[in-house]
Structure 1
Amino acid sequence: MKHTLVIASLLLASLMLGVTACSKRNETSAPTKSGLHRERFQKVIDGKQSDLFVLTNSKGVEICVTSYGARVVSWLVPGRDGKMEDIVLGYDNVQGYIDSNEPYFGAAIGRFGNRIAKGKFTLDGNEYTVPINNAPNALHGGTKGFQAVVWNTRQPDSRTLEFNIVSPDGDQGFPGNLGVKMVYTLTDDNELKITYEAMTDKPTVLNLTHHSFFNLLGAGNGSINDHLLTLNASRYTPVSDVLIPTGQIASVDGTPMDFRKPTVVGSRLDQNFEQLKNGAGYDHNWVLDRPASDAGTGKLFLAARVVEPRSGRVLEVRTDQPGIQFYGGNFLNDSFKGKQGKTYGHRSAIVLETQRFPDSPNQPAFPSTVLRPGETYRHICIYKTLVE
């Protein structure tokens, strides 16, 4: 009974936040530092008003976020020369996101981040089907995942955004009424801290994550193949030619999957290696080398570090999750026209998604993604920018 009341409370809070967000419509806003206009993000979508919110800190960092998909639209950070650049790909209006062939720019992902084989899984003897939107599989929660809905949003101060949503029983085929709360916090250490909490009234599966496309040279300013990447992972989960894990957990030793030392992202893309062919480059989950003493403690772990040598910009990713998906923008091309009219070409972004493993509901050897009534799903991810 207690978890049912919690879900009901989340629903009530969602409705109240929705009214608050809708009441702030502004048709004459001045542009943000990144050049975005708030009114271009105000649109009624499925009966709910979307909007644009701005986070700032004392260091001059600005992050703009739209409630449509709870997505990061822009992220201004300085380089070694002090010049500010927007380091995430995206659009300067909400319609761009609605119409895009890349629906995940900057978005919150759910109910299930990454792929589910053939869109099917069995839980407690019952089979469930999620819409196939990445044939022959379901990707990131199905056709209308959390990236395609307007989140109820509250901004208590200039550094914090609170989001919540109630995903009804049967949403995209998933069981259970699911209440989700996310908080985005921009700190004075130039960290974007994302915290997730969720509860359900029926057994379900859940794997939430964040999907910003980063280019530390600046969005639309070229390839990320010269970025240096470190992943604190000695193993990864190989995939088939349709990007579903084989069930193996393989060593990175002696392969192009070894990023334990800083490595130029594009330096090994031409190697004759089956996994690079299957992913058209890098689009894989790495198993993080968390200290055994951290198991079950919720401690944050440095999962990844990216360095852009020319600008000196650095991105660090910390999490309490067991895996991280590294995607190298393999399916971007010159048809993607983003903010300031810039083109987002092939491999012009790097995506780092902290997560449980892909297709976990069908892979019993992988960490469980099952969430049951009375349990609380928790997940923390921190993206930190710095200069060196």
Structure 2
Amino acid sequence: MTTTGAAPQVESFGRLADGTAVEAVSLHNRHGVSVRLISLGATVQSLRVPGRDGTVADIVLGCSDVSGYIDDPQFFGATIGRFGNRIGKGRFTLDGVEHQVPASDGPNALHGGANGYDKRVWEIARLSAPGEPAGVVFRRISPDGEEGFPGTLTVQASYRLDDDGLTLEYEATTDRPTVLNLTNHSYFNLAGVESGRSALDHVLWIDADAITPVDRTMIPTGEVLPVAGTPFDFRTPTVIGSRIRDATDQQLAAGPGYDHNYVLRAGVTAQPEVAVRVEDPASGRVLEIATTEPGVQFYSGNFLDGTTLGKGMQLYRQGDGLCFETQHFPDSPNHPHFPSTRLDPGQTFRSTTVWRFTTSGI
């Protein structure tokens, strides 16, 4: 059931070094769920959700001020673009023309480059009106050649919080053929980011029979590898940490840990289909993710090394947060048999992901 919410609350979140203002927008629903979004990166900065006993906790990792998001490479909660995930050697070809985008992860391009959408201040294009579910629409124009990508892209990231959960919608158009792969990079810890508990204790289900395996630089080989009989099989709910140190699995060692694209059974869909369910047994918080995208990158926070200072004066360590990045597949422009990430003039890219929050247990 969708219901109206309180009016969005807008306040300052600080300024960039050049003086550009960053704003925060807070949304609330009737079930005690609230989200704070900042215009820098169209980012989920805070997401507060009740547990089984009614205790409300912030369940996403992030930073307390603007400088943390600029200085830290972890992409906490950000909208990722123009191309989420990796492009091998930063190269792809469109209509016979090779394009080179900057390498930002070893030899490869990652998450749109060193100055991707996460580092840009988005315009607040619209706030929900009275009588509508609480929501905000962020908008930006990505110019032709930004980070090496062709075409001027007009892109919107919309967030809507109602009694069913938080809906994330992306929409984009271009004036030249380009490639596009938008996603959100929130790190979840359903125990609460200030709980001191590892997210590796969570129980995970993913509706996928296969992953796209990667080489030593984390670029897909082009294969589709069944998860049956491997530590990547979450078709039955499984504690995430129970197999994460299985050194006999070469893909798990490559991560190191989980950092792989899951090939969802539903594929590309017109309406969001449930793809992921993750539960923290101790607090009872449950996150269910439905999406129209064909893949989801499950990342177990492998590169959180205790040097990042987050909210509540917390030092984030490996396993403190889990990412479920709904997406098209990594390096898709270089694998024609993967679902296409091409966007042409006259087309409109649309993608929807829904985060639903419930509780389990007595």
Pair in the same fold by TM > 0.5: yes
- Distance in 1 separating the partners of 2:340 and 2:18: 33
Q: C-alpha offsets along residues 209-232 of structure 1, whole Å, 9 cap, x if unaligned?
A: 001000000114221111000000
- Distance in 2 separating the partners of 1:260 and 1:152: 40
**AA at the equivalent of 1:226:** D
1:63 aligns with 2:35: yes
1:199 aligns with 2:170: no
1:144 aligns with 2:115: yes
**AA at the equivalent of 1:202:** R
Q: C-alpha offsets along residues 283-331 of structure 1, whole Å, 9 cap, x if unaligned?
A: 00000011xxxx7650211110000000000001000111000000010
2:134 to 143, 159, 173: 159
Match of 2:4 in 1: none
Q: C-alpha offsets along residues 55-92 of structure 1, whole Å, 9 cap, x if unaligned?
A: 11111211111100010111111111111100000111
The answer to whether the 8 Å contact 2:191/2:285 transfers is: yes
Match of 1:224 in 2: 199
Q: CA 1:385–1:150 in 2, change beyond 3 Å: closer, same or farther?
A: same
Q: For the aligned residues, what is the CA RMSD?
A: 1.5
1:116 aligns with 2:114: no
Within 5 A, what are the aligned runs for 1:211-360? Answer: 211-220=185-194, 221-271=196-246, 272-290=248-266, 298-360=270-332
TM-score by length of 1: 0.87
Moved >6 Å (runs of 4+): none
CA shift, 1:354, in A, is 0.6
2:65 to 84, 93, 102: 93
- Distance in 2 separating the partners of 1:244 and 1:235: 16
The answer to whether the 8 Å contact 2:45/2:62 transfers is: yes
- Distance in 1 separating the partners of 2:71 and 2:217: 25
Q: CA 1:297–1:252 in 2, change beyond 3 Å: closer, same or farther?
A: closer
- Distance in 1 separating the partners of 2:198 and 2:16: 35
Match of 1:169 in 2: 144
**Identical counterparts, % of pairs:** 50
The answer to whether the 8 Å contact 2:160/2:167 transfers is: yes
Match of 1:51 in 2: 23
Q: C-alpha offsets along residues 332-373 of structure 1, whole Å, 9 cap, x if unaligned?
A: 021111111112111111000110000000111111100001
Q: CA 1:112–1:85 in 2, change beyond 3 Å: closer, same or farther?
A: same
Q: CA 1:98–1:56 in 2, change beyond 3 Å: closer, same or farther?
A: same
Match of 1:365 in 2: 337
Runs of at least 5 residues in structure 1 that lack an aligned partner in the other structure: 1-23, 27-37
**Higher share of residues assigned strand:** 2
SS in 1 for 2:242: helix
Q: C-alpha offsets along residues 221-250 of structure 1, whole Å, 9 cap, x if unaligned?
A: 221111000000001100011100000011
Match of 1:130 in 2: 101
SS in 2 for 1:380: strand
The answer to whether the 8 Å contact 2:42/2:157 transfers is: no
Q: C-alpha offsets along residues 82-137 of structure 1, whole Å, 9 cap, x if unaligned?
A: 111000001111111112242x0000000001000011111110011111111110
SS in 2 for 1:344: strand
The answer to whether the 8 Å contact 1:219/1:344 transfers is: no
TM-score by length of 2: 0.93
- Distance in 1 separating the partners of 2:156 and 2:318: 34
**AA at the equivalent of 1:155:** L
SS in 1 for 2:99: strand
CA shift, 1:45, in A, is 5.9
- Distance in 2 separating the partners of 1:233 and 1:116: 23
The answer to whether the 8 Å contact 2:16/2:67 transfers is: no
CA shift, 1:270, in A, is 2.0
**AA at the equivalent of 1:318:** A
Q: CA 1:363–1:131 in 2, change beyond 3 Å: closer, same or farther?
A: same
User: Number of residues paired by the alignment?
Assistant: 346
